Amino acid sequence: MTRYAYVLITGASSGIGAALALECAAPGVVLHLSGRDAARLEATAAACRARGAEVRARVLDAIDAAAMADWISQAGRLDLVVANAGISAGTGDGRAESAAQVRAIFGTNLGGVLNTVLPAMAAMAAQPAGPDGLRGRIAVVASIAAFLAAPGAPAYCASKAAVDAWTVGSIPSARARGIGLASICPGYVRSAMTAPNRFPMPGLMDADRAARIILRGIAAGRRRVVFPWWMGVAARLLGLLPLAWSAQLLAIAPGKEAREG
């Protein structure tokens, strides 16, 4: 696996973020990790230090643009940045998402990504290129949900669609600045986010396996990393159906648990 000496990961207190941190942790590696839960973030940091990495953990909410910009600007060289922080909720009780839910989901899943990626791009553009010719790599965690407009989680799907489209569309301009950019679109991954789901989750995988797939895709220079591949294909095909048909099929699946933020 490709090793990065200087790595920054948001949402590193659990799930994919914590698994990525552990996969990257090794002697000589400096990890900048952020999350909102201090206890869980410290647990991730301790596990990474046990693998020999130097860890600089910071309790941060990705929606705080000023704090994020300050943290990233002070990190020093960054070889890999993963904008992973995200939240979910849905309409599991049969009601529409509340205004608070919608704003919170877009605020973190889209605003939090921009608060991470934009300052990271600025920092990377000012640093010298590495052996691979790139000044750095940035991965944005979207979702296979980006390919659908599921009535059970409309804000989540829409926020991930926006993140995926913006990331993929920004790849050429980022490359011109010497920065590798990738959109990561996983299916169901065991985490605190999926734990409340009370419906079948096809293709469900452990976070450590997901992290290895993500890191291999980034190292290979893939623009979009979709897994499991068959779920990505199914989502794309479902999205090609007439809206009346796809809406009827998607309505069969129960929504995510309705939660604030």
Provide the domain limits for residue 163.
6-252
- pLDDT, residue 65, reads 98
Asked if residue 171 belongs to a domain, the reply is yes
Query: What CATH code is carried by the domain that includes residue 113?
Result: 3.40.50.720
Give catalytic residue positions: 156
Give the SS3 label for residue 55.
Answer: strand
- pLDDT, residue 202, reads 81
Asked if residue 260 belongs to a domain, the reply is no
Residue (of 162, 154, 165, 141) closest to 102 by Cα position: 154
Give the pLDDT of the chain (261 residues) as one tens digit per residue.
788 999 999 999 999 999 999 999 999 999 999 999 999 999 999 999 999 999 999 999 999 999 999 999 999 999 999 999 999 876 555 567 889 999 999 999 999 999 999 999 999 999 999 888 999 999 999 999 999 888 888 999 999 999 999 999 999 999 999 999 999 999 989 877 776 666 677 888 999 999 999 999 999 999 999 999 999 999 998 888 777 776 766 765 555 554 433
Asked if residue 227 belongs to a domain, the reply is yes
Asked if residue 164 belongs to a domain, the reply is yes
Supply angle C-alpha 134, 140, 143, rounded to 5.
Answer: 145
Supply angle C-alpha 41, 43, 44, rounded to 5.
Answer: 65
Question: Percentage helix, strand, coil, to 5, in the chain?
Answer: 45, 15, 40
Asked if residue 132 belongs to a domain, the reply is yes
Asked if residue 258 belongs to a domain, the reply is no
- pLDDT, residue 248, reads 67
DSSP per-residue string spanning 69-86:
HHHHHTS---SEEEE---
Q: Any idea what DSSP says for residue 189?
A: B
Q: How many domains does the chain have?
A: 1
